[in-house]
Structure 1
Amino acid sequence: MSDVSSSELRALMARVPSVDKVMASVEFAPLIGEYGRTQVLHALRSALDAWRISAQSGDAAANPAVSALDAAQLHATVAAALLARNASRLRSVFNLTGTVLHTNLGRALLPDESVRAVMTALTQPANLEFDLATGTRGDRDDLIDDLICELTGAEAATIVNNNAAAVLLTLSALAAKKEVVVSRGELVEIGGAFRIPDIMSRAGAKLREVGTTNRTHLKDYEQAINARTALLMKVHASNYAISGFTKEVGIEAIATLAHARGLAVAVDLGSGTLVDLGEWGLPREPTVRETVAAGADLVTFSGDKLLGGPQAGLIVGRRELIAKIKKHPLKRALRVGKLTLAALEPVLRLYRAPEMLTERLTTLRLLTRPAEDIHGAAQRVLPALQQAIDARYTVAAEPMFSQIGSGALPVDVLPSYGLVVRMADGKRGGRHLLALEKQLREMARPLIGRIADDALRLDLRCLEAADETQLIAQLVAQPKRN
């Protein structure tokens, strides 16, 4: 660091242009037009303050560019600061993790029909709570109630912001200060430490555990019923599996017992699907319609998992029970806005033509994408990736397995293909692979993969044609790091 004499410092300071002069300059006019005078003024003053600190510390004397306080450099500094300050924290990424419904990456991608509907809802007034037939106030649930009931066979439906909220609201409305009977083998915990016992407690209901972790019998439910019982509840274990010496009681048997005792049965399906996934070679999951037909009085499920829509929690079932749930004070706190309803309705309509779902519903299209198509994408992306990274790494196209994600069918995998990056010298990757992973995450549109078995693995199942083109262009334009 160089020393700056008092006279030199005064000379440097004398060359600092006034804030008013800079703000009135032609060069700064576009910045003011884009970001507004307040933001530009703040960024300019910050840049000048930083320069003064550098000058006083002696840095300016050692740096001609700083000492001259070049106008172009000042403009570039302010422009960069404004760009960084106004950049969105929510960024588009390439999901190359191999998990289709990745909770951390936003789960289900919406079809074009939903995107258009959301844009309309964003820019135009809509009949969110207005009955066009009567000219009076309406119920926002009415916008999709008939459609959900058509697809599920339920008498009524309501919607909240996610499935955890759906379970919480159901228990709060129907089981507060009463007991809910659940098998020990179904006391699940899902992402974010959401636990069925905790939700019971928050809802003011008392959990009555029956059976054991691996085996529960109908007599266990029967013996647990007493004057304080409000519900018999079944939770679909979609995020884990128990094998071996196991037994669980089906919904039909539980419903028969409950109805004979004047009780209701609630089923938390979690991921919740409206169609038989087995038709497309995927592992089979119980559908909402099957669950309702089996005797469930209430069924809760997610909108943004296997259903393929926006984040939402749906509750379907008997009309009188849904009406009671909708009257509970929590319903207003947990209700969804117009954007969720606008996005969900087009997704539900797609299910009216199930034979076209693999073309139109993004989630199902990704889940059923043939491995050979993904292999082709891997071959096309490979040269660009190898070019973008340094010679310490080697890239190969290899088969791998994707998973559905978000707690749906965790033990089942989908044959896929992707790119595997290893150290060219055959040694363990360690910090070098971590550095490469960080490099890919720092690209204009970040690449999100995973490190496993001493390799960086980029599963291309979720890389469709448009994204593939963009990814290759980004990799080609990426300056190679040595």
Structure 2
Amino acid sequence: MAGSEQIALLRELPAVDEMLRQPKINDLLLNHSRTEIVEAVRKVLDEMRAGILSGKIPAVDMEGIVDNVLHTVKQSAGPNLRAVINATGVILHTNLGRALLSDRARQAVARVSEGYCNLEIDLNTGKRGSRYSALEGLLTKLTGAEDALVVNNNASAVLLALGTLARGKEVIVSRGQLVEIGGSFRIPEVMAQSGARLVEVGTTNKTYPRDYEAAITEETGLLLNVHTSNYRIVGFTRETTVEELVQLGGRYSLPVMSDLGSGFLVDLSPYGLPQEPTVQETVKAGADVVTFSGDKLLGGPQAGIIVGKKHFIDKMKKNPLTRAVRIDKFTVAALEATLREYLHPDRVLQNVPTLRMLTEPLTSLHQKARQLAEIIAGKVGDMAEVAFEEGVSRVGGGAMPTADLPTGLVRVTPRNIPVERLVTSLRLGEPAVVGRVQEGSLLLDVRTLQKNDTEPLVQALLQALQSQ
């Protein structure tokens, strides 16, 4: 039960009508609806009551209540999807939107958002066209495949391919490739949803072609290879290659599908990254269908890309599910512009942000980190200890899990506030800033900072440190 002091404080709380008569709150009616303001007032007053009853609020401050209402209205009126400065060093950060679009991709999206476009009309004939025509030629040229189709994400691509090619039939896959692809969705679950029946072969660490062959029956519809892009099994291992599956599939007239997951078009091993199969290599190996993501190592918008033999792709295009998972004009525009970057191998590493961040030289990263540390130290003074140090970035997005990317870090150790409070203030600021916390310090990784991030980052850090 509430004590006498708490009851007295509760009686001091203003009524909603009284709050609405406050000049600062009344001024909000110029730009906000009365309903919106009333909801904010009630929310703040409810929080005050709870704080009083829990003993956390020792006094009622009318000015403070008004400020809280103003802040609440501002927060509720702003967009829920906000800009974030990524200082985590995780390049394909799923929680922060994965791949950043190139300048040309952003410009392409802006163009189609400003008016109408020829999404499904052939301007040469005046007849209805296909929304995929802008992408098919580029994808076949870049990958060497016969045909291509794009859906809204790679899980949809896998679902569509399995449902089209193996619905009601058995699909053989290695036990070591039954991955969880994110959001707690797993390959067996996606397969079950497609109507195909899973047949597991081999062991977690070793699967041979003979394991697949022993499992083939009259009910077999597909041989599936899933590239384990989000984890690695090392040591005593043996993995059946796509080439081996293609040979086996040829003997039994079975199609072979390869889900690359992240999938990319450029070999990054010369830059110190792990050797990964490219889409071109997988197509050349003979896979009938290859699926991969658009917003991971490719560096484009969220999309599921399917390339392969034309007669299989044609079947998928006729599947009613294709309409349910189709892409919109913004994805078409962004993906087309991203794919066009790959037509210029001499410039693609710089023009696609994901590739640029993956391949940036360590000397450049160290220089940026030292410069940022100097700027921050000059601004925050005695409020924090600031130092440069070496560290490691991550690819993220379930790609290249064993890749350690050497980087430059700025360590900020606050002196006046706990690091948890600093991190919270940065996350709730405008723009929001997200970094890493380690041993009582905030770590800022310059690898994922963009060219215009320095000034707002430093300003946000200064404000957060001053929040006593």
Alignment TM-score, normalising by the size of structure 2:
0.86
State, as a whole percentage, how many aligned pairs show the same letter. Answer: 43
Any idea what SS the aligned residue of 1:355 has?
coil
Q: Which amino acid aligns with 1:303?
A: G
Pair 1:43-2:37 in alignment: yes
- The structure 1 residue matched to 2:229, chosen from 227, 238, 242, is 238
Pair 1:299-2:290 in alignment: yes
Residues 49 and 84 (structure 1 numbering): CA distance in 2 closer, same or farther, change over 3 Å? closer
**Highest Rg: 1 or 2?**
1
- The structure 2 residue matched to 1:118, chosen from 86, 109, 113, is 109
Shift of residue 165, structure 1, vs aligned partner:
0.8
Residues 432 and 79 (structure 1 numbering): CA distance in 2 closer, same or farther, change over 3 Å? closer
Aligned length: 451
Aligned pairs for 1:63-462 (under 5 A) are 80-383=71-374, 385-386=376-377, 394-422=385-413, 432-453=418-439, 455-462=441-448
- Cα offsets for 1:264-314 (capped at 9, x unmatched): 000000001011112434322111111011010000000000000000000
Shift of residue 17, structure 1, vs aligned partner:
11
Q: Which amino acid aligns with 1:187?
A: L
Shift of residue 120, structure 1, vs aligned partner:
1.2
Q: Which amino acid aligns with 2:297?
A: L
Q: Does structure 1 conserve the Cα–Cα contact (< 8 Å) formed by 2:223 and 2:245? A: yes
- The structure 1 residue matched to 2:454, chosen from 464, 468, 471, is 468
Shift of residue 333, structure 1, vs aligned partner:
0.7
Shift of residue 395, structure 1, vs aligned partner:
2.8
Q: Does structure 1 conserve the Cα–Cα contact (< 8 Å) formed by 2:249 and 2:256? A: yes
Residues 440 and 65 (structure 1 numbering): CA distance in 2 closer, same or farther, change over 3 Å? closer
| Stretches of structure 2 lacking an aligned partner (at least 5 in a row) | 53-58
Bigger mean CA deviation after superposition, 453-462 or 182-191:
453-462
Q: Which amino acid aligns with 2:346?
A: E
- Cα offsets for 1:103-155 (capped at 9, x unmatched): 11100000111111111111110111112122121111112111111101111
**CA distance, structure 2, for counterparts of residue 175 and residue 41 of structure 1:** 54
Q: Which amino acid aligns with 1:274?
A: L
Q: Does structure 2 conserve the Cα–Cα contact (< 8 Å) formed by 1:390 and 1:480? A: no
- Cα offsets for 1:405-445 (capped at 9, x unmatched): 111110111110112244769xxxxx933233223222222
Q: Does structure 1 conserve the Cα–Cα contact (< 8 Å) formed by 2:426 and 2:461? A: no
Any idea what SS the aligned residue of 1:243 has?
coil
Other-structure match for 2:55: none
Shift of residue 368, structure 1, vs aligned partner:
1.2
Shift of residue 393, structure 1, vs aligned partner:
5.0
Other-structure match for 2:56: none
Shift of residue 379, structure 1, vs aligned partner:
2.4
Q: Which amino acid aligns with 2:107?
A: R
**CA distance, structure 2, for counterparts of residue 173 and residue 45 of structure 1:** 50
Q: Which amino acid aligns with 2:370?
A: Q
**CA distance, structure 2, for counterparts of residue 424 and residue 49 of structure 1:** 34
**CA distance, structure 1, for counterparts of residue 125 and residue 243 of structure 2:** 41
Q: Does structure 2 conserve the Cα–Cα contact (< 8 Å) formed by 1:378 and 1:419? A: yes
Q: Does structure 2 conserve the Cα–Cα contact (< 8 Å) formed by 1:113 and 1:346? A: yes
Shift of residue 42, structure 1, vs aligned partner:
4.8
**CA distance, structure 1, for counterparts of residue 155 and residue 130 of structure 2:** 22
Residues 235 and 16 (structure 1 numbering): CA distance in 2 closer, same or farther, change over 3 Å? closer
Q: Which amino acid aligns with 1:472?
A: V
Q: Which amino acid aligns with 2:452?
A: A
Shift of residue 252, structure 1, vs aligned partner:
1.2
**CA distance, structure 1, for counterparts of residue 41 and residue 177 of structure 2:** 59
Q: Which amino acid aligns with 1:214?
A: N
- Cα offsets for 1:357-390 (capped at 9, x unmatched): 1221111111111222222222233255457779
Residues 18 and 160 (structure 1 numbering): CA distance in 2 closer, same or farther, change over 3 Å? closer
Q: Does structure 1 conserve the Cα–Cα contact (< 8 Å) formed by 2:174 and 2:207? A: yes
Other-structure match for 1:70: none
- Cα offsets for 1:37-76 (capped at 9, x unmatched): xx1465269759999xx9xx9xxxx98977xxxxxx98x8
